[in-house]
Amino acid sequence: MDIGLLGQYIMNGLMLGMMYALVAVGFTLFFGVLDVINFSHGDVLTVGAFTGLATSLGLTALGISSAPLVVVIVFLSAIVCMSALGAFIARYLVLPLKSAPALNTLLLTLMLGIVLHEAVRLFYPQGANPQRFPSLLSTEAYSFGHFTLRVDSALLLLAGLAVIIGVHLLINKTKLGLAIRAVAQDEETAKLMGINFTLIVLVTFAIGSGLAAFAGIMHGLYYSEINFGMGLLLGVIGFSAAIVGGLGNIYGAIIGGFLFAALQTIGALALPFASAYKDVFAFGVVILIMAWRPTGLISEKVSERV
């Protein structure tokens, strides 16, 4: 195979892996602090992407043309709005069902996801059609043989890496992160230590939803297009990545995201005659991994409560 083409596949795999990892980390944060699966997470990503698009169009209408400023405002608006939406979901939809059977929460978040993406389709102007996402980053590219490196792709990859490092530092090096880990380890003990359980849950849902918004904007900038159904596949893959990596373990979620992207890339390379089946190949391998390691590649440390 041509080395340049292989390089393009690897670059695309890294971008996909970064998006999947960001979504998977959100799933694992939700499960870690509240033992719930938030199936509306992928659709929060969709709403975040459309929020970013609306912000970009609004700034253009106001005559703001500075690309760096527009990019920063687009990311911030999507992250802030989706963080607020995540906290709202936690406070008024998830926490009230804390003592209810887990299936109730699962069903509620599943229905909420449908409401979110159908709301985008119905109320966003021409929301049923794919929307062109503006090219806000440099379109300059550098060629190395048959491999072409786009500046915008490199910037998005570095930005995603910075966010993941930021989450790592937040969880492991701050008092907030310590409180999140304490709640995830043992809710009752954390409460006895004076930790505000409700606040930690709201903050955690806000962080996870903000990560989804970041992934949604990355998707729009990388593919120059978004649509109201994009969160369905990204949500399923992100959830699968969190499961195969070890639900409840942030590093497992990151590994799972990149593993899934690698499997898709290998599928596209191994099945050039049927690259449309790369998702089937990736899901098939993930099923085998889950049969081999039901608890995920990095098992969550569980302590018995007495």
Distance (Å, whole) CA 191 – CA 61: 49
Residue 109: count other Cβ atoms within 10 Å of its Cβ. 22
Residue 269 falls inside a structural domain:
no
Number of domains in the chain: 1
Residue 25 near residue 31, CB atoms below 8 Å: no
Residue 238 falls inside a structural domain:
no
Q: How confident is the model at residue 275 (pLDDT cuts 50, 70, 90)?
A: low
Average pLDDT over residues 286-293: 91
Query: Which helix (H) or strand (E) is 150 found in, with range?
Result: strand 147-150
Q: Which pLDDT tens digit goes with each residue over 4-57? A: 777 888 888 999 999 999 999 999 999 999 889 999 999 999 999 999 999 999
Distance (Å, whole) CA 301 – CA 249: 9
pTM of the model: 0.93
Residue 240 falls inside a structural domain:
no
Q: Which residues pair with 131 in a beta bridge?
A: 226
Residue 243 falls inside a structural domain:
no
SS3 32: helix
Percent of the chain surpassing pLDDT 70: 95
Task: With a cut of 50, say whether residue 305 has pLDDT above it.
Answer: no
Lowest-pLDDT range, 125-129, 196-200, 267-271? 267-271
Burial class, 283, CB count within 10 angstroms (exposed 0-12 / middle 13-18 / buried 19+): middle
Residue 62 falls inside a structural domain:
yes
Residue 250 falls inside a structural domain:
no
Residue 239 falls inside a structural domain:
no
The domain of 180 spans 16-226
Residue 273 falls inside a structural domain:
no
Average pLDDT over residues 86-102: 93
How confident is the model at residue 295, as a pLDDT?
84
Return the structure tokens found at 37: 């699966």
